[in-house]
Amino acid sequence: MSSEESNKTSRRTRSQGSNSRGRWDPPLNRDGTPCLKGRIINLIQVVVITQLLIVAATIHGCLMPGRTCTSETKQHIANMMTVITTSTFALYAAEK
């Protein structure tokens, strides 16, 4: 049996055992370590969406009747949009 066949067998055995216990079985890199790229990208997506919700809520609060936005609030919205744009480009780069 070649080393490649033994690696496939050990992965298959390990994944069958871990599935029976209900654990998450991540895909493996070539060196056998777990590949967590997908989980990291999902985390970045959650952060970007949360930031967008914060900005949307702030803008909605500014547009409500009887409320005015100060220049400090407008600057905060602009800063958050800059952070969101940077995070989005980081997410795009990580996917490539």
What pLDDT sits at residue 3? 54
For the segment 45-93, what is each residue's pLDDT rounded down to a tens digit?
888 888 888 888 888 888 888 888 888 988 988 888 898 888 888 877 8
What pLDDT sits at residue 18? 47
Burial label for 51, CB within 10 Å (0-12, 13-18, 19+), is middle
Residue 7 has pLDDT above 70, yes or no: no
Q: Which residue has the higher pLDDT, 25 or 10?
A: 25
DSSP class per residue in 48-85? HHHHHHHHHHHHHHHHSTT----HHHHHHHHHHHHHHH
Burial label for 87, CB within 10 Å (0-12, 13-18, 19+), is middle
For the segment 19-42, what is each residue's pLDDT rounded down to a tens digit?
455 677 777 778 878 777 778 778
